[in-house]
Amino acid sequence: MGTARNGCRADVLNQHTTAIHRRALLSAGLGAAAAPRLGAAPLSHKALVFPRDAGAHPDSAIEWWYVTGYAMDNSADVAFGFQVTFFRSRVPKTQGMQSTLAARQLVFAHAALTDVKGRKLWHDQRMARSSGAEPGQNPNDSAWTSTNDTNIQLRDWSLLRQGPDLQARIKSNDFSIAVTLATSQPVLLQGKNGLSQKGPDSAQASHYYSLPHLQVRGELILQGQRYAVGAGSTAWLDHEWSQQIMPPQAVGWDWMGINLFDGGALTAFRLRDKGGNAVWDGGSFRVQDKLFIFQPGEVVFKPQRSWKSPLSQANYPVEWIVRTPADFYTVRALVDNQEMDSRTSTGAIYWEGLSEVWDSNQRLVGRGYLEMTGYANPMRL
């Protein structure tokens, strides 16, 4: 799935001015830009075409490009988890405005770095308005998302296509991420040929594809210390867009995207009601050239151990047993406190973190990211 992130960026918007900007958008009726639309039409089953569908879909209500990864420095001594996410939200009330200052789209960005050895999460966030124009067409835009390919920029934060690879660039006060993400596997179409059902209503769906096993090389900086990363570093890209992604009774979701050491890719998710019961579930398993799409009822999340956030007082299961048609997996967070507070941008508090995965024979078989939303407060897109 993928959702909001945490921390505030002092060199662009300090927390006070970001909060003021967000309140201004809310008072103008723009804060509900991505609110689920009752009675929304079902998404079409049209085939996804690349690189076009790697770009933005400005007519959809919500969209995100979500990179999560594991990075090992070249001395094999220091390990990190990292996250770079860009969100686009369509503002219905401004679509007919002709002014180049009109906020037809809102663009948010979240970034995080998990220091595994130091057992600490560093995070940051941004937000800006966009006219929806292509890059360079509107000098008033401080953010844009291209409709031609994966080219997204919010001031000096970016996720850009460079030849066959993606380049992620994040600069924060405490950390920086500058990595190349090289494709090593074909696109993984989630759901039915890229149309992923998220609830019992056919309108509760998203266009959704993944790029697992991205090969990572580049540089991370944490508090002035530089780390060259490469061998053994892998990432995962999720790209989703939708008109309405959550059933009305759902308060949040649990999701994981795991790069398996044998080259396989595992996705599992469930949407949850306030009682913790599954409203919908799904996922996929790809090994070599064989893809298995999980059907509703085949994925079961069972919490094993929880951690209570001192910030939000939310209790997050940081260890799970996840049953899938592929196997029973144990999923464990590498650091308990990977909670994200994005109340000054997208508004959510959620948990997003680097995790390891064991199979039913208790063998370590993979590594990736676990995401949990709706534990601190109900998730509202």
Domain annotation covers residue 97: yes
> d(Cα 67, Cα 211) in Å, to the nearest integer?
9
Instruction: Tokens for 348, please give them.
Output: 């959510």
Can you tell me whether residue 71 is helix, strand or coil? strand
Q: What is the pLDDT of residues 18-36, one digit of tens each?
A: 333 343 333 333 333 333 3
Residue type, 180: T
Q: How confident is the model at residue 377 (pLDDT cuts 50, 70, 90)?
A: confident
Q: What is the pLDDT of residues 47-81, one digit of tens each?
A: 999 999 999 999 999 999 999 999 999 988 899 99
Domain annotation covers residue 378: no
Say yes or no to pLDDT of 281 above 90.
yes
Say yes or no to pLDDT of 305 above 90.
yes
> d(Cα 298, Cα 354) in Å, to the nearest integer?
24
Domain count, the chain: 1
What local confidence, expressed as pLDDT, does residue 39 receive?
A: 47
Residues 156-169, mean pLDDT to the nearest whole number:
96
What local confidence, expressed as pLDDT, does residue 341 receive?
A: 86
Give the residue numbers spanning the domain of 212: 15-35+50-373
Say yes or no to pLDDT of 12 above 60.
no
Say yes or no to pLDDT of 344 above 80.
no
Domain annotation covers residue 6: no
Can you tell me whether residue 43 is helix, strand or coil? coil
Domain annotation covers residue 152: yes
What local confidence, expressed as pLDDT, does residue 45 receive?
A: 81
Higher pLDDT: 198 or 12? It is 198
Least confident interval from 52-66, 126-140, 203-217: 126-140
Say yes or no to pLDDT of 190 above 70.
yes
CB 130 within 8 A of CB 230: no
- List the one residue out of 241, 150, 238 whose CA is nearest residue 195: 241
Residues 319-324, mean pLDDT to the nearest whole number:
98
What are the two backbone dihedrals, phi and then psi, of residue 94, each rounded to the nearest 5 degrees? -110, 0
What local confidence, expressed as pLDDT, does residue 173 receive?
A: 94
Domain annotation covers residue 9: no
Instruction: Give the count of beta carbons closer than 10 Å to the beta carbon of residue 140.
Output: 12
What local confidence, expressed as pLDDT, does residue 19 receive?
A: 37
Instruction: Give the count of beta carbons closer than 10 Å to the beta carbon of residue 296.
Output: 14
Domain annotation covers residue 342: yes
Residue type, 34: A
Residue 152 makes CB contacts below 8 A (sequence gap 6+) with 56, 65, 86, 88, 107, 144, 145, 146, 158, 159, 160
Q: How confident is the model at residue 365 (pLDDT cuts 50, 70, 90)?
A: very high
Say yes or no to pLDDT of 229 above 70.
yes
- List the one residue out of 25, 61, 58 whose CA is nearest residue 40: 61
Can you tell me whether residue 79 is helix, strand or coil? strand
Q: What is the pLDDT of residues 87-125, one digit of tens each?
A: 999 988 888 888 888 888 999 999 999 999 999 999 999
Residues 253-274, mean pLDDT to the nearest whole number:
97
> d(Cα 194, Cα 290) in Å, to the nearest integer?
16
Domain annotation covers residue 130: yes
Residues 331-349, mean pLDDT to the nearest whole number:
87
Domain annotation covers residue 41: no
Please report where in the chains the tokens 């660039």 appear, as a residue. 169
> d(Cα 323, Cα 316) in Å, to the nearest integer?
19
State if pTM tops 0.95: no
Q: What mean pLDDT value characterizes the chain?
A: 88
CATH number at residue 104: 2.40.370.10
What local confidence, expressed as pLDDT, does residue 252 receive?
A: 95
What local confidence, expressed as pLDDT, does residue 10 receive?
A: 31
Residues 35-49, mean pLDDT to the nearest whole number:
67
Say yes or no to pLDDT of 161 above 50.
yes
Q: How confident is the model at residue 17 (pLDDT cuts 50, 70, 90)?
A: very low
What local confidence, expressed as pLDDT, does residue 179 receive?
A: 98
What local confidence, expressed as pLDDT, does residue 278 receive?
A: 96
Task: Return contacts of 46-53, CB within 8 angstroms, 24+ apart.
Answer: 47/193, 47/194, 48/187, 48/189, 48/193, 48/194, 48/207, 48/209, 50/187, 51/148, 51/149, 51/150, 51/161, 52/147, 52/148, 52/149, 53/207, 53/209
Burial of 266 (0-12, 13-18, 19+ CB in 10 A): buried
CB 21 within 8 A of CB 30: no
